[in-house]
């Protein structure tokens, strides 16, 4: 299982239900990595998706005790236990945990790789990921060159569980 997300310098990931910064190249990277795969998210993240619709060309799984059932292929798991059962149906390397804070917290122990887009700036944030640079369980294995979007530097970093 893998994590994919963007963080600011404080490992902030979101504010008031939205991303901190929407970087087109990051969106493209996210799409390239996840198309044809399984994306796992909490209700908060699902509700932050454009049009509150499942991501196209991916198996979408949402953890939510409250969301109404739908007939558009979205898989809703009502408990963490049923989510873990559901995830056994897929190859671990095909599963991407895409957010948000609560779901990362639940599933981080099961993840072996993390694809992090580092944004070299700070934003007001109300959702965070554990700082993997300070975690003894994770090591940085690769980092792209720094790129610039709208005056803000960002880069793509990969971590692996030690």
User: CB-wise, 98 or 132, nearer to ligand NAP?
Assistant: 98
User: CB-wise, 49 or 160, nearer to ligand NAP?
Assistant: 49
> Would you count residue 54 as binding ligand NAP (CB under 6 A)?
no
Residue 144 beta carbon to ligand NAP: minimum distance, rounded to whole angstroms: 16
Answer positive or negative: Cα dihedral of 25, 29, 32, 35: negative
Residues 132-151 vs ligand NAP: string with x where CB under 6 A? Answer: --------------------
CA 101, CA 75: separation in Å to the nearest integer? 20
List the one residue out of 100, 115, 97, 105 whose CA is nearest residue 20: 100
List the one residue out of 102, 54, 51 whose CA is nearest residue 80: 102
Secondary structure class of 2 (helix, strand, coil): strand
> Would you count residue 102 as binding ligand NAP (CB under 6 A)?
yes
Which of 25, 35, 79, 89: binder of ligand NAP (CB under 6 A)? 79
CA 120, CA 137: separation in Å to the nearest integer? 23
Cβ–Cβ under 8 Å, residues 116 and 142: no
Which of 42, 95, 132, 156: binder of ligand NAP (CB under 6 A)? 42
Residues that bind ligand NAP (CB under 6 A): 5-6, 13-15, 17-19, 41-45, 48, 63-67, 79-80, 98-103, 106, 127
């Amino acid at each position: 299982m893998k994590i994919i997300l963007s963080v600011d310098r404080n490992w902030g990931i979101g504010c008031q239900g939205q991303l901190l910064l929407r970087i087109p190249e990051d969106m493209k990277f996210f799409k390239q990595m996840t198309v044809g795969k399984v994306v796992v998210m909490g209700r908060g993240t699902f509700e932050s998706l454009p049009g509150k619709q499942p991501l196209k060309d991916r198996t979408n799984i949402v953890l939510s005790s409250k969301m109404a059932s739908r007939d558009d292929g979205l898989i809703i798991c009502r408990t963490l236990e049923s989510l873990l059962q559901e995830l056994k149906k897929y190859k671990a390397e095909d599963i991407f945990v895409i957010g948000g804070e609560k779901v990362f917290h639940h599933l981080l122990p099961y993840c072996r790789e993390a694809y992090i887009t580092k944004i070299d700036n700070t934003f007001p944030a109300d959702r965070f990921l554990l700082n993997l640079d300070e975690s003894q369980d994770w090591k940085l294995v690769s980092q792209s060159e720094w790129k610039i979007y709208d005056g803000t530097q960002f880069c793509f970093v990969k971590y692996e569980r030690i």
